[in-house]
Amino acid sequence: MAKTLAEKVWGAHVVRKGDGEGANAQPDLLFIDLHLVHEVTSPQAFEGLRLAGRPLRRPDLTIATEDHNTPTLDIDKPIADLTSRTQIQTLRNNCQEFGVRLHSLGDAEQGIVHVVGPQLGLTQPGMTVVCGDSHTSTHGAFGALAMGIGTSEVEHVMATQTLSLKPFKTMAINVEGTLRPGVSAKDIILAVIAKIGTGGGQGYVLEYRGSAIRALSMEARMTICNMSIEAGARAGLVAPDQTTYDYMFGRPHAPQGGAEWDAAVEYWNTLRSDDDATFDVAVDLDADTLEPFVTWGTNPGQGVSLSAKVPSPGDFGDENAKAAAERALQYMGLEAGTPMKDIRVDTVFLGSCTNSRMEDLRAAADIIRGRTKDPNIRMLVVPGSARVRLEAEAEGLDKVFKDFGAEWRFAGCSMCLGMNPDQLEPGERCASTSNRNFEGRQGKGGRTHLVSPVVAAATAVRGTLSSPSDLDPAPGSAAVRSDAA
């Protein structure tokens, strides 16, 4: 029978088929190939193992890093916040006790868990990947089935290296055409979420397909898969291709050359939806006409084209959506009908598991090089991992950001979530390359507009939400990077 990619990966991991059929079917027991761990959602799971006297079944399929609580300044000093410090120390103790490889603050491989896995070559096509973090969907960019789980499931994976999972439905997201300059992967996914809504993906695994997706780099595909959860999806993935293999090749934990690599590629080549496979739902998006996208409200589905205006609650037919829009406008301090580009921001945040990789930093640096920052803007640039930071410094990107007047920080989740010192003040407005514009997400009372890295950079220049096409030519702009992706 013809199968979709997600069904193939699922089928290859069934340890035990659930008893029963149809509505009464019990869930299948699936093997988990990689378990990523961080300090926030693991302490109670390790404690559960300890109380039950259970070992960690596969330390060799488990890896941990510190990211959510970690400061991005003064990392050579003890963490000032005592509860954060305790949580990090608890992870260190647990990893030592259970034999888990840990990349601590200061280590060259430390960073956001979803940046670290792919970077080390641990995320590979056809795998099942889980983490106690909803943005685990990021790893789907490799054609892996990657899911965020809660702490009870973290403990379950630790004890059994499996998960009981209920069957999913499949949704094809077809993106055909060619993106215009200044439009990027972030705009694709924000447009998808605005189209299907924050609950539109519920119960589904999304497969991103079409010529516009095939043309994207691995890092851009990660940006898209990362935000699958923002549409409510169980997971999101992209079939692997030569772009995937080129990214994998030579990474520390990728199959090494010769027979091992060939065997892997032979398998990976089977990882695509069959031509006659059927999806439960299909959604089409036109890449040719897509514009830079930005959110105006307090959930990621409340987005519009950057050239549009703040919508009015009356624009929404559904009563719940109308009420949500009213509340969102009030929280965001916005008036319906205001052009998005008239909105002045206080802070620009370039970072998070959505947009903190080399290409994101390069794209933003290309916009600001030779330009001047709006004097009222505070800009934070936070590489996704210590290695991204090192690579960026080797390319001189740190200097570009610093010359522009941005703060160049150490790696971590930073201002994506209000859990470490990088937070917004009440009422402070931020153009952010992160993934959630929920009330208070970036700090109590903070106001978030989700944007792409180039929109973030252009906004830092002009002080108002801006697209790169709104900028005057930079002095010496002929000196555009010759090797830009």
Partner 1 sequence: MEKFTTHTGIGVPLRQSNVDTDQIIPAVYLKRITRTGFEDALFAAWRKDPAFILNQEPFNAGSVLVAGPDFGTGSSREHAVWALKDYGFKTVLSSRFADIFRGNSGKQGLLAAELAQDDIELIWKELENAPGTAVTVDLVSKTVQCGNIVAPFEIDDYTRWRLLEGLDDIGLTLKHEEDITAFEATRPAFMPKTLPAKLS
Q: Return the residue of 95, 220, 264, 294 that touches partner 1, per CB under 8 A.
A: 264
Q: Does 371 bind partner 1 (CB under 8 A)?
A: no
Q: Tell the burial category of 36 from Cβ atoms under 10 Å away from its Cβ (0-12, 13-18, 19+).
A: buried
Residues 329-368 that bind partner 1 (CB under 8 A): none
As beta bridge partners, residue 288 has none
In angstroms, give the least distance from the CB of 445 to partner 1. 8
Total Cβ atoms within 10 A of residue 196: 22
- For partner 1, the closer of residues 73 and 108 by Cβ is 108
Reading the block at residue 374, the tokens are 């709006």
- For partner 1, the closer of residues 122 and 368 by Cβ is 122
Q: Return the residue of 323, 479, 480, 485 that touches partner 1, per CB under 8 A.
A: 323
- For partner 1, the closer of residues 43 and 405 by Cβ is 43
Q: Return the residue of 77, 320, 473, 483 that touches partner 1, per CB under 8 A.
A: 320
Cα distances from 396 to residues 108, 280, 284, 407, in angstroms, run 18, 47, 40, 14
Cα distances from 13 to residues 8, 10, 31, 274, 295, in angstroms, run 9, 5, 5, 19, 38
In angstroms, give the least distance from the CB of 296 to partner 1. 14
- The DSSP element (H or E) to which 378 belongs, if any, is strand 378-381
In angstroms, give the least distance from the CB of 210 to partner 1. 25
Helix (H, G, I), strand (E, B) or coil at 297: coil
Q: Which stretch binds partner 1 (CB under 8 A): 273-281, 393-401, 415-423, 472-480?
A: 415-423
In angstroms, give the least distance from the CB of 193 to partner 1. 11
Reading the block at residue 411, the tokens are 């790696």
CA–CA dist 71, 62 (Å, integer): 24
Residues 453-472 that bind partner 1 (CB under 8 A): none
Residue with tokens 């989700």: 450
User: Which string of x and - marks every residue 57-86 that binds partner 1 (by CB under 8 A)?
Assistant: x-xxxxx----xx-----------x-xx-x
Q: What is the DSSP letter of 140?
A: G
Report the Cα–Cα distance between both ends of the chain, in Å, rounded.
Answer: 39
User: Which string of x and - marks every residue 152-191 that binds partner 1 (by CB under 8 A)?
Assistant: xx-xx--xxxx-x-x-------------------------
As beta bridge partners, residue 11 has none
Residues 95-124 that bind partner 1 (CB under 8 A): 101, 108-109, 120-122, 124
- For partner 1, the closer of residues 75 and 474 by Cβ is 75
Q: Which stretch binds partner 1 (CB under 8 A): 129-137, 210-218, 360-368, 372-380?
A: 129-137
Q: Return the residue of 195, 327, 378, 399 that touches partner 1, per CB under 8 A.
A: 327
Residue with tokens 């690599």: 261
The helix-helix angle for 397-404 and 358-368 (nearest 10°) equals: 40
Q: Return the residue of 174, 177, 203, 313 that touches partner 1, per CB under 8 A.
A: 203
- Strand locations in 245-375 (E): 281-286, 293-295, 303-305, 347-350
The answer for residues whose C-beta is within 8 angstroms of residue 154's C-beta and 6 or more apart is: 35, 37, 41, 42, 45, 130, 132
- For partner 1, the closer of residues 214 and 322 by Cβ is 322
CA–CA dist 8, 46 (Å, integer): 32
Q: Does 55 bind partner 1 (CB under 8 A)?
A: no
* Closest CA relative to residue 482, chosen from 366, 387, 318: 366
Entry field: residues in the chain: 485
Q: Return the residue of 104, 174, 198, 243 that touches partner 1, per CB under 8 A.
A: 198
Q: Does 150 bind partner 1 (CB under 8 A)?
A: yes
Q: Return the residue of 96, 202, 330, 372 that touches partner 1, per CB under 8 A.
A: 202
User: Which string of x and - marks every residue 225-254 that binds partner 1 (by CB under 8 A)?
Assistant: ----xx-x-x-----------------xxx
Percentage helix, strand, coil for the chain under 3-state DSSP, each rounded to 5: 35, 20, 45
Residues 277-306 that bind partner 1 (CB under 8 A): 298-299
- For partner 1, the closer of residues 58 and 180 by Cβ is 58
- For partner 1, the closer of residues 116 and 212 by Cβ is 116
* Closest CA relative to residue 368, chosen from 408, 400, 394, 345: 400
User: Which string of x and - marks every residue 21-50 that binds partner 1 (by CB under 8 A)?
Assistant: --xxxxx-x-x-xx-----xx-xx--x---
Q: Which stretch binds partner 1 (CB under 8 A): 10-18, 237-245, 350-358, 374-382?
A: 10-18
In angstroms, give the least distance from the CB of 94 to partner 1. 10
How many of the chain's residues bind partner 1 (CB under 8 A)?
Answer: 92
Q: Which stretch binds partner 1 (CB under 8 A): 208-216, 283-291, 431-439, 449-457?
A: 431-439
Residues 204-223 that bind partner 1 (CB under 8 A): none
Reading the block at residue 423, the tokens are 């937070």
Where do the H-state alpha helices sit in 23-150? Answer: 43-52, 82-98, 113-119
